[in-house]
Amino acid sequence: MKYILLIFTLLFFSACSIKNYEHTQTKIITIKSPKMKFSDAGYLRNSSDAIELELFMAGKNIEKISVNHLICTSGGCMSKSGFNKEYLNGAYPDDTLQNILLSRAIYGGANLSKTPDGFSQSIKNEHVDISYKVDSSGVYFKDRKNSIIFNIKDIDE
């Protein structure tokens, strides 16, 4: 009986941990921040409630970043504000990484300018100096004040 209970428990918990993502895209990803430096291929997967960024270097998986209600890396899980403070900048809104990965406006759409194939934003205050552009060629985010860059392009570009 205890073996049946053990098998049932394992199956239950393993089923809960498997994510079925609706969209998977192969991208060329460049990330530069004080704590993270990466430039190579990666997979961007998402569903309506979760995002996963899997980073590869020379064909080897080196990092997986999962965004849900928490942000999880190989170093563990933390709140979105905790991730911003540790990996990006504590002044960023909690949903900044999620919006960049999903090509959405940041900072609640502040200073948004529509372009023929996307949009751009320029946000400058005492904590940040951000240029953010989303178009058919990809996503480009640069914070000059904090030396942070995200550049995400389709693999066939």
pLDDT tens track, the chain, 157 positions: 544 544 544 444 443 444 566 778 899 999 999 888 998 889 999 887 789 999 988 778 888 999 988 999 888 999 999 999 999 999 999 999 999 999 999 999 999 999 999 999 999 999 999 999 999 999 999 999 999 999 999 886 5
Phi first, then psi, for residue 146 (nearest 5°) are -110, 5
91 Cβ neighbours under 8 A, 6+ residues apart: 84, 127, 128
Phi first, then psi, for residue 75 (nearest 5°) are -85, -5
Distance of CA 62 to the CA centre of its chain: 15
Phi first, then psi, for residue 107 (nearest 5°) are 50, 40
> pLDDT value at position 48?
75
> pLDDT value at position 7?
54
Pick left, alpha or beta for residue 58 (phi over 0 → left; psi -120 to 50 → alpha; otherwise beta): left
Domains of the chain: which residue ranges?
A: 21-154
- The string of DSSP codes covering 74-112 is TTEEE-HHHHHHHHS-TTS-TTHHHHHHTT--SGGGTTE
The half-sphere exposure of 137 on its side-chain side, counting CA atoms within 13 A, is 7
> pLDDT value at position 6?
46
> pLDDT value at position 47?
82
